[in-house]
Amino acid sequence: MFDRFVVVDWSANSTPKRGRDSVWIATRDADGGLTLENPSTRRDAERMLVDHLRSGGATLLSVDFSLGYPAGTADALGLDGPPWSATAALLEEMTVDGANNANNRFEVASALNERISGSASPFWGCPPSRRTPTLVSTKPVGPGPVAEWRTVECRLRNQGRRPFSSWQLLGAGAVGSQSLLGIPMITRLAGTFAGHLEVWPFNGLHVPDVGAGSVVVAEVWPSMRPLPATEAGDVRDAQQVVAVAEWLAGLDATDSLAELFTPIVPPDRRRTVIDEEGWILGVVG
């Protein structure tokens, strides 16, 4: 299906950084070539991604942050139109992400909480110095104004796995901050590659129609994949993007990749998954 597999471990750091807890990009060509990049800023990472996607052929771009939010989020924000695209457009409008990684993700989360609930929920997790009346450091007690988990995360939890909620912004393994900064990046890529880029599964839970120059963006959860044996001291994030890229390329080489795009989703949840929540590629049963 694809000529290239690009796997990204995004980062929400507020200063330039390489190594642990920074951006890692693994690119695996269908012919076996592999490159690993570690740009110090998201701005540089985005430029690298644009270059990769312009290299010709069809590309599967996999990202390690939540591409959607639990059902009802767009309504709670008072948005009109298709829920996922409306929420993504709002985040792109609100988010400031500077050339040196300075960003306003905590201010955005606080403003979204104010809009959704008028309280410190559903987003949570910030340094004490960034606390506001509508954003706190620890998880609020009691049910929130919208669901804590997406359908795919409920599936993983039922399997005994421990995914993180899209609402958690801070802490080891949390993805909330990466989503606030990553979804706007995907929105910009969609504009740059208009007519050629599809964000799965928001056009449907089906195998994408892939052709020359096509880009398919999908969410992955690298913790689902076992890490390869590597030398001690290697950065886990780097190991994970390489492992996922090799896994996806291996599936494609054996004509087994297509089935990942048609997961089993309860009929009463399919519309929610397609319209707003999204899905994690590789969660099939």
56 — pLDDT class (breaks 50, 70, 90)? confident
Determine which of 19-23, 80-84, 167-171, 224-228 has the lowest per-residue pLDDT on average.
224-228
Across the range 249-278, mean pLDDT stands at 97
Query: What's residue 124's pLDDT?
Result: 98
Give the total residue count for the chain.
285
Write out pLDDT tens, residues 211-241. Answer: 889 999 999 999 888 776 654 458 999 999 9
Question: Which token pair is 35?
Answer: 């490159």
For the chain, percent of residues with pLDDT exceeding 90? 92
Mean pLDDT, all residues of the chain: 95
Across the range 156-174, mean pLDDT stands at 95
- Cα 40 to its chain centre, rounded Å, is 19
Query: What's residue 285's pLDDT?
Result: 73
Tell me the pTM: 0.96
- Cα 166 to its chain centre, rounded Å, is 10
Q: What is the largest CA-CA distance in the chain?
A: 53
